Amino acid sequence: MTMDNIRNFCIIAHIDHGKSTLADRMMEITGTVAKRDMKSQLLDSMDLEREKGITIKLAPVRMKYNYRQSAATASSQSNVAGNASNRVIDLSEGLPLAGSYDLNLIDTPGHVDFSYEVSRSLQACEGAVLVVDASQGIQAQTLANVYLAMEQDLTIIPVLNKVDLPAADVPRVSKQVMNLLGCGEDDIIHISAKTGHNVDKVLEAIVERIKPPVSLLQQEFPDAKSSDIPTRALIFDSYYDDYRGVILYVRVVDGQVKKGEAIHMMATGANGLALEVGHLSPTMTPDPLLDTGEIGYIVTNLKTTREAKVGDTVTLKKYFTKE
């Protein structure tokens, strides 16, 4: 998969505005999870999360999405999920090509206590889907997460959820969103994550509005291959598995990480082995390597997460030979 066909994004919202339900519908529409395996709050794996209906632990998932540019969109050069004036992709270059895209989603927590986890997730993305409850409007954590996304210069796609509820006040909440983001009314997508209404428009907007990932080193050396460029990968989450050791969730910024390679943590100075690399969809799926722009996991032989802290940079040990 080329970087032009990758989109890295997260979903940010206040508590109980429908983040996890929207993620469920996205996985359903893209066929990431079979219908027989589908259940509500699929990415919320902890018992407490499912009991309380909130997201505590962030969870990444890769979805394969077949983007089809509609004839009306192509002829009028206008996006059904947003107007031309605020599009990230310049119309002079044309809309994204129809085809298969890797959509890497990070479902972030909504509670204020987990703002650090949200900030790390935002650094691993180029865009964010902002979900606002059409009955409650913009809440405190909505503002906090939007400001975090703006600091990272992310493309924000505004989404009004629960528009099918009797208490929904779409005009009032739309004005709140427009005042917050400075966007037009046409940029806001009205959905019902519970029924799946207009969720396909959100997927289209992700492909059309969010920029593909960029390797700064590859731009500097355009003739170089990914394997020749020094590896840099951001750890946005890590946890200890009793059977496998420390598992890292990473976004590869430059270069690539292959299975079996010796890795090095820049901040802690710890060395380890990449026993397995791959992506989550939503279960762990091994790959031969993680390439530039991709989000995935690395199973290591490290004994504690203190050796691989969130926010650290993973590189290869071969760059740190003893003099």
Q: What is the pLDDT of residues 19-47, one digit of tens each?
A: 888 888 888 888 887 665 555 544 444 44
Domain count along the chain: 2
Q: 151, 174, 209: which is the final residue of a domain?
A: 209
Query: Tokens in use for 293?
Result: 């722009």
What's the whole-number mean pLDDT along residues 185-202? 91
pLDDT of residue 118: 74
Task: Examine the domain organization and report whether 180 and 230 are in the same domain.
Answer: no
pLDDT of residue 156: 94
How does residue 7 score in pLDDT terms, banded at 50, 70 and 90? very high
Task: Examine the domain organization and report whether 166 and 199 are in the same domain.
Answer: yes
pLDDT in tens, 94-114: 578 888 999 999 877 655 555
Say how far apart CA 86 and CA 95 lie, in whole Å. Answer: 13
Beta-carbon contacts of 219 under 8 Å, excluding residues fewer than 6 positions away, are none
Q: Are 199 and 157 in contact (CB under 8 A)?
A: no
Please determine, for residue 174, whether its predicted confidence score (pLDDT) is greater than 60.
Answer: yes
What's the whole-number mean pLDDT along residues 40-63? 54
Range among 10-14, 220-224, 313-317 rated most confident:
313-317
Say how far apart CA 4 and CA 99 lie, in whole Å. Answer: 11
What's the whole-number mean pLDDT along residues 190-206? 92
Q: Which of 138-152, 167-181, 279-293 has the lowest mean pLDDT?
A: 138-152
Please determine, for residue 291, whether its predicted confidence score (pLDDT) is greater than 80.
Answer: yes
CATH number for the domain including 226?
2.40.30.10
Q: Which residue has the higher pLDDT, 18 or 67?
A: 67
13: β partners: 131
Range of the domain at 247: 216-319
Q: 182, 209, 236: which is the final residue of a domain?
A: 209
Closest by Cα among 146, 197, 145 to 170? 197
The two most distant CA atoms of the chain are separated, in Å, by 70
Q: 157, 179, 209: which is the final residue of a domain?
A: 209
pLDDT of residue 94: 59
How does residue 51 score in pLDDT terms, banded at 50, 70 and 90? very low
Please determine, for residue 12, whether its predicted confidence score (pLDDT) is greater than 50.
Answer: yes
Say how far apart CA 318 and CA 11 lie, in whole Å. Answer: 36
Task: Examine the domain organization and report whether 103 and 128 are in the same domain.
Answer: yes
Predicted TM-score (pTM) of the model is 0.83
Query: Tokens in use for 195?
Result: 């029924």
Say how far apart CA 33 and CA 22 lie, in whole Å. Answer: 14
CATH number for the domain including 92?
3.40.50.300
